[in-house]
Structure 1
Amino acid sequence: MKVTELFDLTNRVAIITGGGRGLGEQIAEVYAEMGCHLALCSRKKENCEEVAERLAKEYGIKANSYSLDVTSEPQVEEVVSRVLADFGKIDILVNNSGATWGAPVEDMPLEAWNKVMNVNVTGTFLMSKAVGRHMIEQNYGKIINIASAAGLTVRPPEVTNTIGYTTSKAAVIHFTKDLAIKWARHNIYVNAIAPGMFRTKMTAGTLEQKEDTVLETIPLNKIGDDQMLKGAAIYLATKASDFVTGTVLSVDGGSTL
């Protein structure tokens, strides 16, 4: 098999939560480039619509957008059913929707903690459950959970102060490993990517205030750009990773060393 075939996604179908901006948009773009059809989901459907229209036009693939709150099981079930009706199958699930909240532990509202845990952990569970039923039936699937380097390490409050976020991403990492062993018998691969500090809307405030401090924690001394996650995302979605499951791939400039 040629190397190019290992990374080919022609006529595969991927559902990407949070696919309308940031890391989700970057993943959607590299999948489209490799021939994958896209179902992009977000609470802000208009963001997904813009990305879907652009990628469909640029790469000649089919791309639809859907409004989705991943913390709502009825919405998750409805959107997954619609995607299956629109595309006929789902080969790849990228659980990318995420939330964060910055505050000292002693001041963090319970509402904020619950919001972060519900989006990052419960949302990942609900999407995996709904899509997983279909993947079990077709005896194939690739699930990629977007965790975080923050779920693998800890930092003093001068660097980050987001204990709900870090705890939720640690939970996503363990969920990934546990689900991988549960569904390996169904030929479903479950892996996670743990991005470090990338320039996104979510990290803009932190980088504006503390970029120099953050850079001190990254051995490669740089912040992730809009190209640096694509290689990991395409690897875990394709035949190239057909002997890989339950793995967490850190894309973090060495920050978790």
Structure 2
Amino acid sequence: MATSASLILCSGARTAAAHPRQPGNAALSWQTTDLGFSPTYTQKQVIYIFVKCSFCGKLDHPAFGASIMDLSLKGRVAVITGASKGVGKGVARAMAAEGVDIALIARGREALAEAADEIANTFGVKVLPVEADVTDTASMRKAAEAVRGHFGKAHILVNNAGAAIRRQDREIMWDDSDWLNQVQIKSVGALRMIREFLPLVPRDGSGRIINIAGASGTMAWMPALTYGLNNAALIHVTGYLAADLANDKITVNAIVPGLVGTEWREDWAAAAAEQAGKAKAEWLSDFCRSKGILSGRWGNVEEIGDLAAFIASDKARYINGAKLAIDGGLTVNAR
């Protein structure tokens, strides 16, 4: 006889707990479904309980005190560059959801303050907004001192700062200053950030450096010459520093996203769809498939953030020097 297990899923709007972003509003309800196992399944019945927030969609939410995977990150500190929006903010939110205290580094004061307030109010962690420029040594040194004074240490360093693709002209014809400006932000900026914050990283096995690179560093993505150059450099830096810092028990890994729907890309897609006379969703699906993205869509910042949170955890302690593609199958290069 087949045995079954009860799978408790969240699907509606009745709860005893309020979502922190909407105090007083219902966020959970329950639906029970029986799963059948094959006749060869002879172990005793197992009950699987999943808690899912219907407001933000996370399966593990600090407001509900339940978890399907405890990453044991609560109380650690992460420093994230380019953190006021886009992938950087997505990484910050994912780590804050696991109880990590956050230092957000970015140049734009207003967006930085808004991101810090949002994350602190949503997840109840300590958030330090630091207005700093990764292209400026004195600025990054001051940022490191601010983090030292506020948190004392930094377990996780996330290099995410970079410049968006704003121009469509041939980059091989750019002036030297334009090339160097791009390299200063992503490549040298990452080295500068690591150098200034490395003294704050513990040598007890909890130290993590996570570099947000990109698929353009492994392929020719037109017209992203310097964009790809920076991502390729960051991928190389990841392997080099994994070896260099191994004796300090600090792991260094790269996340290599494909096309991700950040704020500026959302605007770009909307403009391109309008020009093509298509709905945005239709244009985006066609575009992604034309680029060989097997999933037929671009990624979202939450997906990048979730991977970063896992890499930061002790469950990923044996992952070192890895370049982890998260690109919907883009780099499979299917033909």
Q: TM-score, normalised by structure 1?
A: 0.91
Mapped partners of 1:73, 1:140: distance in 2 = 26
- Residue by residue over 1:4-33, the C-alpha shift from the partner in whole angstroms, topping out at 9 and shown as x without a partner, is 33x131000001111110111111111111
1:4 partner amino acid = M
8 Å contact 2:256–2:324 — kept in the other structure?
yes
Deviates more, 1:185-194 or 1:104-113: 104-113
1:107, distance to aligned residue in structure 2 (A)? 3.0
Of 66, 69, 83, which residue of structure 2 is paired with 1:4?
69
2:137 partner amino acid = E
Residue 189 of structure 2 corresponds to residue 114 of structure 1 = no
1:137, distance to aligned residue in structure 2 (A)? 6.0
- As a proportion of its length, which structure holds more helix? 1
Alpha carbons of structure 1 residues 166 and 206: separation in structure 2 relative to 1, 3 Å = farther
Q: TM-score, normalised by structure 2?
A: 0.71
- Per the alignment, residue 215 of structure 1 pairs with 289
2:209 partner amino acid = I
Mapped partners of 1:242, 1:172: distance in 2 = 21
1:153, distance to aligned residue in structure 2 (A)? 1.3
Of 52, 67, 71, which residue of structure 1 is paired with 2:131?
67
Mapped partners of 1:198, 1:49: distance in 2 = 24
Of 157, 165, 171, which residue of structure 2 is paired with 1:105?
171
Alpha carbons of structure 1 residues 114 and 99: separation in structure 2 relative to 1, 3 Å = same
Residue 308 of structure 2 corresponds to residue 244 of structure 1 = no
Mapped partners of 1:128, 1:84: distance in 2 = 14
2:257 partner amino acid = P
8 Å contact 1:45–1:67 — kept in the other structure?
yes
1:110, distance to aligned residue in structure 2 (A)? 2.3
Structure 2 unaligned regions, length at least 5: 1-66, 273-282
Of 137, 150, 155, which residue of structure 2 is paired with 1:86?
150
Percent identity between the two aligned chains: 29
- Per the alignment, residue 49 of structure 1 pairs with 113
8 Å contact 1:232–1:249 — kept in the other structure?
no
Residue 248 of structure 2 corresponds to residue 143 of structure 1 = no
- Residue by residue over 1:155-177, the C-alpha shift from the partner in whole angstroms, topping out at 9 and shown as x without a partner, is 3xxxx302011011100000011
8 Å contact 2:94–2:302 — kept in the other structure?
no
8 Å contact 2:91–2:302 — kept in the other structure?
no
Alpha carbons of structure 1 residues 136 and 56: separation in structure 2 relative to 1, 3 Å = closer
SS state of the match for residue 15, structure 1? strand
1:140, distance to aligned residue in structure 2 (A)? 4.4
Runs of 4+ in structure 1 off by over 4 angstroms are 136-140
Mapped partners of 2:88, 2:123: distance in 1 = 17
Alpha carbons of structure 1 residues 133 and 254: separation in structure 2 relative to 1, 3 Å = same
- Residue by residue over 1:136-155, the C-alpha shift from the partner in whole angstroms, topping out at 9 and shown as x without a partner, is 66664101011001111113
1:133, distance to aligned residue in structure 2 (A)? 2.3
8 Å contact 2:252–2:321 — kept in the other structure?
yes
1:205, distance to aligned residue in structure 2 (A)? 5.7
Q: Which has the higher contact order (CA 8 A, sep 6+)?
A: 1
- Per the alignment, residue 192 of structure 1 pairs with 254
For the aligned residue pairs, the C-alpha RMSD in angstroms reads 1.9
